[in-house]
Amino acid sequence: MRQLLVFNNVSIDGFIADMRGEMHWTHAVDPEWDEYVRGNASGDAHFLFGRKTYELMAGYWPTPAALQAMPLVAKKMNETPKIVFSKTLVKATWQQTTIVREDVPGTVRRLKNAPGPGMVIFGSGTIVPQLANEGLIDEFQMVINPVALGAGLPMFAGLKTMLKLETVTTRSFRNGNVVITYRPSPAP
């Protein structure tokens, strides 16, 4: 069975985007962090997005600025197959993108049962809680950023029941970021 993980930047007060839906606060320059991001981008996985995150990513990664700033990451982001869950997106302009308009949990369940590489969700504040509610997420990798936003888009808005997680690994970086990997706790 294919694994599904979430990789999200999170403020210390639990938001994945600020009040304007932006994530500029996540870019803390640090060679150690940049090396980690490059290494993380070398894995084999398909990407899943909600519409807003897709539009954010599609507006950056195919640009000359992204290709210059992080060429290996940009190459991976651009060449990897992507699925965007949206009822309103008319056309996908980013290469290797498929739009899925219906049944997010059912589609992910079918993808998990199909052969292929693992899958990663970035951002996607409406998709993550839907899939967490269905028990479809195998791992959460949260990059805790040393910033408090006060308001914004919470990572788990719409979660229907408490989600208990077990810590798998932690890693601190000089820029203040802390990556914590969690897995859902097995039911008692």
Nearest in space to 51 (alpha carbons), one of 81, 21, 12, 8: 21
| Residues in contact with 141: Cβ distance below 8 Å, sequence separation at least 6, in sequence order | 5, 6, 7, 8, 179, 180, 181, 182
Domains and CATH numbers, the chain: 4-160 (3.40.430.10)
CA 68-4-12 angle, 5° bins: 65
pLDDT tens track of the chain, all 188 residues?
Answer: 899 999 999 999 999 999 998 888 887 778 888 788 777 765 678 999 999 889 989 999 999 999 998 888 899 899 999 999 999 999 999 999 999 999 999 999 999 999 999 999 988 888 999 999 999 999 999 999 999 999 999 999 989 989 999 999 999 999 999 999 999 998 66
- pTM (2 decimals)? 0.89
Beta pairing partners, 171: 179
